[in-house]
């Protein structure tokens, strides 16, 4: 089915339902086809763990870095928390 933009605006819900039920719908401008409405298909299941082994988390994640302490406080310190 080919519909012009103005008709598509007025009947969008109906056109979506038609596409959902397997019908082909093309939207045209000045009777020239410009887009096809298609039913959304998921691209696939999410793959978990794709970064496994690529990210390193240090044991001392919450510890202080002496260089950063120097930038903030201008001195080395045992504890600025």
Task: Report the 10 Å Cβ neighbour count for 57.
Answer: 5
Q: Report the mean per-residue pLDDT for the chain.
A: 87
Q: Would you say 37 and 19 are in contact if contact means Cβ atoms under 8 Å apart?
A: yes
Counting residues of the chain whose pLDDT is more than 90, the rounded percentage is: 48
pLDDT of 60 strictly over 70:
yes
Give the pLDDT band (50/70/90) at residue 79: low
Give the pLDDT band (50/70/90) at residue 51: confident
The dihedral region occupied by 13, where left means phi > 0, alpha psi between -120 and 50, and beta the remainder, is alpha
Q: Which pLDDT score, from 0 to 100, does residue 53 have?
A: 84
Where are the domains positioned within the chain?
A: 2-37
Give the pLDDT band (50/70/90) at residue 19: very high
Residue 5 contacts by C-beta under 8 Å, 6 or more apart in sequence? 27, 28, 29
Q: Which pLDDT score, from 0 to 100, does residue 34 have?
A: 96
């Amino acid at each position: 089915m080919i519909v012009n933009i103005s008709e598509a605006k007025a009947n969008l819900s109906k056109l979506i339902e038609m596409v959902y039920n397997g019908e082909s719908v093309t939207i045209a401008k000045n009777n020239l086809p410009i887009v096809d409405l298609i039913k959304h298909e998921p691209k696939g299941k999410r793959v978990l763990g794709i970064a496994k082994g690529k990210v390193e988390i240090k044991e001392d994640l919450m510890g202080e870095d002496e260089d950063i302490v120097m930038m903030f406080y201008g001195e080395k310190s045992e504890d600025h928390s």
